[in-house]
Amino acid sequence: MPEVSGCEPSNEAGACAPSNGMHLWYRDEGNSDGEPMLLIMGLSSQLIAWPDDFVAALGEAGYRVIRFDNRDCGLSLKVDAPDGLFDPAPYKLADMANDAAGLLDHLGIQEAHVVGASMGGMIAQYVAINHNQKVRSLCSIMSTTGALGVGGWTDEAFAAVTSRPPNTERDTVIEHITWVYRVIGSQTLAKEEEVSRKKLATASYDRMFWPKGGNLQVKAIVAPGQNRTAQLEALKDSRWVPTLVIHGAEDSLINISGGVATHNAVPDSEFLRIETMGHDLPKRHHQAILAAIHANAGRLAPHRV
């Protein structure tokens, strides 16, 4: 597969890592001596979509926090492949999981807590399935199993995430991204989240606007043969991974049925339902989410093989 070499030039804190034939831009934060925690973000979402206060809180809790831009996003490698509607997917979610596992290898990390949101949750599931020995605990947030009939979207949410701004002018694009966040995010908390949504949209545009990458990532998500249900159920037969599933009842992009299906598939998993969370990480719920992640990370072992 032809590729564009290397990461994008940047003056920001972080580094570029070779991984699985890719180059990934990452940040290594928190307690350098702590247990590693790998954060994997979702569709078209850069590493900055993990709120800084959320990352800082994990560091204060003692974790070494690694977050990165997926391929075709942010400052990481952009794959040189056609992104038309009928063009084949140049990669699948399992390939993106290999990227994440390769980043851990690059950093000399044998085992990490793995936390993924949305598409990142799907990738995190594949890390647990295909790189089981690398996963100390798993947290799948606002994600799904890939099974048909669960985790669906509303027409409005699908239209929003697949739409494009009318032009590429900075203000137009920022307003468009903010609108998408408004459509798919928490409706109950919309007013208090509006400023942070606009701030993230602005930072995302200024850091890297790359809509083609989103098209290719969508192809990775919808490529056939990615129902992970049986593979998640089989974790009990390999090496059990303490698993937490978090989902918002207001999620219009990946219905909460996707989170329930994930919880039902993974043996002995925990489930946190948040009534006023949509397809986002509202600040009001950071404390509850962080507490649940920390509790799951401490759920080790009689089940260890």
Q: Is pLDDT at 304 greater than 50 in this prediction?
A: no
Q: Is pLDDT at 305 greater than 70 in this prediction?
A: no
Strand order in the sheet with 15-19: 15-19, 22-30, 64-68, 36-40, 112-117, 135-141, 243-248, 270-274
- Angle in degrees, CA 286, 205, 114, rounded to 5: 40
Cα separation of 132 and 190, whole Å? 38
Cα separation of 74 and 24, whole Å? 9
Residues 8-37 pLDDT 10s: 999 999 999 999 999 999 999 999 999 999
Query: Containing domain of residue 119, as a range?
Result: 15-148+208-297
Mean pLDDT, residues 273-287: 98
Average pLDDT, whole number, for the chain? Answer: 95
Q: Where are the alpha helices (DSSP H) in the chain?
A: 52-60, 93-106, 119-130, 155-162, 170-184, 190-207, 211-222, 229-233, 256-265, 286-297
What integer pLDDT is reported at residue 237 of this predicted model? 83
Q: Is residue 83 part of a domain?
A: yes
Report, in angstroms and rounded to the nearest whole number, the Rg of the chain calculated over CA atoms: 18
* 135-141/112-117 β-pairing: parallel
Q: Which residues fall within 8 angstroms of residue 68, CB to CB, at 6 or more apart? A: 17, 24, 25, 26, 27, 38, 39, 40, 47, 76, 100, 103
CATH of the domain at 276: 3.40.50.1820
Q: Is residue 216 part of a domain?
A: yes
Q: Is residue 186 part of a domain?
A: no
Number of structural domains the chain divides into:
1
Q: Is residue 61 part of a domain?
A: yes
Half-sphere exposure in the Cβ direction for 182 (13 Å, CA): 12
Q: Is residue 78 part of a domain?
A: yes
Question: The pTM is what?
Answer: 0.96
Cα separation of 47 and 50, whole Å? 6
pLDDT grade, residue 5 (50/70/90)? Answer: low
Residues 187-230 pLDDT 10s: 999 999 999 999 999 999 999 999 999 999 999 999 999 999 99
Which residue type does 174 have?
I
Q: Is residue 108 part of a domain?
A: yes
Q: Is residue 181 part of a domain?
A: no
Any idea which residue has 């206060």 for tokens?
A: 53
Q: Is residue 2 part of a domain?
A: no
What integer pLDDT is reported at residue 240 of this predicted model? 86
Q: Which residues fall within 8 angstroms of residue 250, CB to CB, at 6 or more apart? A: 186, 187, 188, 275, 276, 277, 278
